[in-house]
Structure 1
């Protein structure tokens, strides 16, 4: 049972999260800056980030098995030790092929650590306090990432000192969770994957999550190299990254409140359109100094809220017993997007120039906008066709039986030929099958002045946004 101040009950877990994210938030920035100073091709930098997210995807399956076998604390300790050793490997060798392997292992270890922390919080938090606990968890995560950037700013020449601190943080994050007096949580249960089922049921949400993964992987992996290419020293690069992450942190609460009042599909379309214009301007205009910081702050507000809004939108359109499977599908979808994003963006940067990072993100956002418009329009048309065909027939009382054409046969007022015609109406049946059980759009109740969206339904439990590295 959690206390009146639930965040105090999980002090050990939050401290562990802070130390872990200080290390993880600075490691990818360090690697990107280090390779940029050595004038290594940007393709290698993108490949390093892709390997990290590949490790996250692979670690989702491995983490379940490890935690189920040895328990949460032992799984976390083992993962943290492996990740710490991988960070120190970058001191021992500069061979990029080995670095790629280390990034995959780091991703797998980090996924296991995330699963331990989040499943622990989920299990031992009361429903009435879950929002507060996870809000504090997200704040701690973002503060850790910002702290990692600020730590790097103290070492403008990089060297091995930052890697030593990163390894120390990975090691020290074991201490709070190993000494906690909280009850050990129950083993995790494997979450089934229903990728194709959910892609049909919530296409807008999963499309937005895929694009959010493409953007997040590209930004975290290649933004330090982009900033360095503009002649920014290490201190300014870390400031550039910190401002973007801080924007994402500050935007979570107000954007969540807005999404409770405005249909989430409409917010996703607005974010996609605004990101298209903003990132295109960043790639074209020679922004520097305060103007670049303002631009990247706006980018953080728009880009880092895509995932939580899309995740909440998906959860509002599925049944409660499908949400575990949906969670696994969402994480896999985001991870796959984050795997391919850095590879594609780094290839364009290598061929054309550093500005192609934001040009690539602009193309992703524009594609998302078009996809959301298309799906929204298609669903609205299908819903309208169903209403028209149903209204062409008579209306009976409410109830599950009424939804079947066979129910009409029980009504003596209805002609038998009409019943037979409706049962054999292939167009009606085919149209009905196109609409999923839970519409991926708030179109159940249309107002006269709102052609696409209706007021948002009651909010359901939302998915926790995991900070990307």
Structure 2
């Protein structure tokens, strides 16, 4: 069996070069507009338009790839992204920049779809985990590389845009020269948004909030740091440290989520992130403190999406996973569209400190929402457990159903009756909760939207005690 890293080396190299360009472009635009003292509304709108392009590209990308193939679609979109990056040099109108950001988002989404569908189709099942783990590693390294590239140009200028355009063009070379067999055309992924919101409400809530947070951070964090009079070098180090923390946290957080219920981890992350960003808002800002808190921020904020995605997939049937993936991408993209606009509006009215205040409020709302949904599910399941067990019992008003009826029978031993009554009291004290009950498991809905499907096959009941010998007494 060949090494997956060698087999997909061309795709990995393409990903690295592409993310160097993309990782630096958003930061460059934010810093450039901040230097020109452009209102924060425009900076937030730039990032919102980029994520809007990602949402639109998820639909148009399928059609383009199915019509012309993976490599041709990738080459066309890479050329568009490269031309858009160069256009920022020639055009100063911010309205045109918004359109350019939409086009860049659409092109990047198509490129992501080409790479990920190619890896997903041709990676062997025994290597799939390693392939996508390395793909994510390369993606994070590319974004960090883009930040470090900007460190070499503290005055910004035109040189960074030229390098970004060059990387957007050069990422075509490895994938165009690859000797791997082209993957099959993509099939359209249906959207079932309302269905999945009923099935996995905690996961999609977390993904929406993760989109709000990510869009606000990537779009406005460089401008926020610039408003605090940090240098370009300090800002790029700050962004690199935050992204690096997210990279380092992926593997250990994934291992932890395999052992601890994922909804519990999401609540824990949300609570800590709310507290951390509140401290970042109210405490005095200095370089050492902010670097440390930014590292912790990257660990908490950048692990919400992958944990929520895994949490959603663990409760979905195999034939629904494609539709779920499309729904997750759309949900995240919509959240990321509105996040920068809302945060920019708050910054415009109340000042730059509102960036992390907005993230703190979003995290708090996520925590409260997850607590409410989890409590509702727990109470619903407990009631249904009681109803299921009640189906196996006769009416409570019937004397025959009570162990006291056995006590009136002179053929039954008294010790046996007392043991049965004790067992019933213990069951009542436990509230008839199944031994496999887990408050963090999301049940799947029935056709009725207000009930959850728990059939007798899914329930776990206590094993009946071994029958005791019954002493028969002679009739007088």
User: Structure 2 length normalisation: TM-score?
Assistant: 0.84
Q: 1:188 to 1:285 in 2, by over 3 A?
A: same
Q: Equivalent of 1:434, from 441, 446, 450?
A: 450
Contact 2:53/2:104 (8 A) holds in 1: yes
Q: After TM superposition, where is structure 1 displaced by more than 2 Å over at least 4 residues in a row?
A: 429-439, 443-446
**1:383 maps onto 2:381 in alignment:** yes
- Summarize the alignment of residues 111-126 of structure 1 with structure 2, pairs less than 5 Å apart: 111-126=109-124
- Summarize the alignment of residues 345-360 of structure 1 with structure 2, pairs less than 5 Å apart: 345-360=343-358
Query: For residue 281 of structure 2, what is the aligned residue in structure 1?
Result: 283
Name the SS for the 2:126 alignment partner: helix
Name the SS for the 2:392 alignment partner: coil
Query: For residue 328 of structure 2, what is the aligned residue in structure 1?
Result: 330
Query: For residue 408 of structure 2, what is the aligned residue in structure 1?
Result: none
Cα separation, 2, equivalents of 1:286 and 1:131 = 43
Q: Equivalent of 1:104, from 81, 102, 105?
A: 102
User: Structure 1 length normalisation: TM-score?
Assistant: 0.85
Shift of 1:395: 6.9
Shift of 1:438: 9.2
Q: 1:330 to 1:437 in 2, by over 3 A?
A: farther
Q: 1:251 to 1:216 in 2, by over 3 A?
A: same
- Summarize the alignment of residues 299-338 of structure 1 with structure 2, pairs less than 5 Å apart: 299-338=297-336
Cα separation, 1, equivalents of 2:197 and 2:91 = 43
The gaps in structure 2 that reach 5 residues or longer are 395-444, 462-476
The gaps in structure 1 that reach 5 residues or longer are 397-428, 447-469
Q: Equivalent of 2:171, from 170, 173, 180?
A: 173
Cα separation, 2, equivalents of 1:179 and 1:319 = 38
Q: 1:438 to 1:64 in 2, by over 3 A?
A: farther
The CA deviation string for residues 88-115 of structure 1, in whole angstroms up to 9 with x for no partner, is 0000011100000000000000000000
Shift of 1:7: 1.2
**1:195 maps onto 2:193 in alignment:** yes
Query: For residue 22 of structure 1, what is the aligned residue in structure 2?
Result: 20
Query: For residue 154 of structure 1, what is the aligned residue in structure 2?
Result: 152
- The Cα RMSD (Å) is 1.9
Cα separation, 1, equivalents of 2:137 and 2:446 = 47
Cα separation, 2, equivalents of 1:241 and 1:289 = 13
Contact 1:386/1:431 (8 A) holds in 2: no
Contact 2:58/2:106 (8 A) holds in 1: yes
Q: 1:432 to 1:50 in 2, by over 3 A?
A: closer
Say which one has the larger Rg.
Answer: 2
Q: Equivalent of 1:11, from 9, 12, 18?
A: 9
The CA deviation string for residues 292-311 of structure 1, in whole angstroms up to 9 with x for no partner, is 00000000000000000000
Query: For residue 130 of structure 2, what is the aligned residue in structure 1?
Result: 132
Cα separation, 1, equivalents of 2:60 and 2:343 = 29
Q: Equivalent of 1:83, from 77, 81, 84?
A: 81
Cα separation, 1, equivalents of 2:447 and 2:169 = 58
Q: Equivalent of 1:47, from 35, 45, 48?
A: 45
Give the paired residue count. 409
Q: Equivalent of 2:249, from 248, 251, 270?
A: 251
The CA deviation string for residues 272-296 of structure 1, in whole angstroms up to 9 with x for no partner, is 0001000011011112111100000
